Amino acid sequence: MTHTAVIAGVGPGLGESLARRFAAEGCQVALFARSAAYLEELADDLPGPGEGLAVPTDLTDVEAVRSGFDAVREAFGPVDILVNHASSPSWSGLMDTSVEAFERSWAVNGRGAFVCSQEAVDDMLETGGGTVLFTGATSAVRSLGGTIGFTAAKFAARGMAMDIAQEFGPEGIHVAHIVLDGQIDTPDIRERFPDRDDDTFLDPDELAETYWHLVEQSHVGTQPFEVHVTNGPENSEFM
């Protein structure tokens, strides 16, 4: 069976690693993000036997998200894998966070994932099941203090994942939440922290293996809801 996967929120780092890993497994991979040029280049460069489709999408725009899923269905058919991976950080506390910044973090991490999940689960109910994965963070399970917008949005996304899992697990839809308790290795992060050791970062290619393993578990009787990935408690402050 050929899977059709939507990765909502793709950029250099884990999003790209997920796209490459899923394509290597033969998936038809739709890439959602705002950067059209980057998406087109990545879609053309994905490894076989999978295929890539660039779908430039602002995940804060409900109608744009729904139109994006229509484009995926037209190109590949119904979606049976969704990765809610988009994130909009808000690194300030209660008194320093504007309503606009708070709402933007929620619009990406919360509402965007909600609309993507509605679209994907609707397909999965028609075709007999699938997988929905949520990328979480330390802030999804433990407040760090001073990051109220991000924390509120990530807590909301985790609760949403749990609710979808309970509602649709009996329908053959496996929902899982991945807590990334550390900082993902990306070129930008390397520039910001040039003196840090390699083992203080989370390797995006290794993380992508974890995500694919969760997809493979969608057809077994016992399915994990949450995976907590860390490279040591001393580094968890960075998420």
- Segments in the chain forming alpha helices (H): 14-24, 36-45, 62-76, 99-106, 113-127, 148-168, 187-192, 204-216
In tens, the pLDDT along 172-201 reads: 999 999 999 888 877 777 667 666 666 678
Helix 14-24, helix 204-216: angle, nearest 10:
50
Query: How does pLDDT run across 3-30, given as a tens digit for each residue?
Result: 999 999 999 999 999 999 999 999 999 9
Please give the domain boundaries of the chain with CATH numbers for all domains: 4-238 (3.40.50.720)
Q: What is the pLDDT of residues 66-101, one digit of tens each?
A: 999 999 999 999 999 999 999 887 789 999 999 999
Confidence category of residue 235, pLDDT binned at 50, 70, 90? very low
At residue 232, the pLDDT reads: 54
Q: What is the mean pLDDT of residues 108-126?
A: 97
Residues contacting residue 164 through CB under 8 Å, at least 6 positions apart: 117, 121, 132, 173, 175
25-44 b/e (C-beta count within 10 Å ≥ 16 → b): bebbbbbbbbeeebbeebbe
Per this entry, what is the length of the chain?
Answer: 239
Question: Taking the model in full, what pTM does it have?
Answer: 0.92
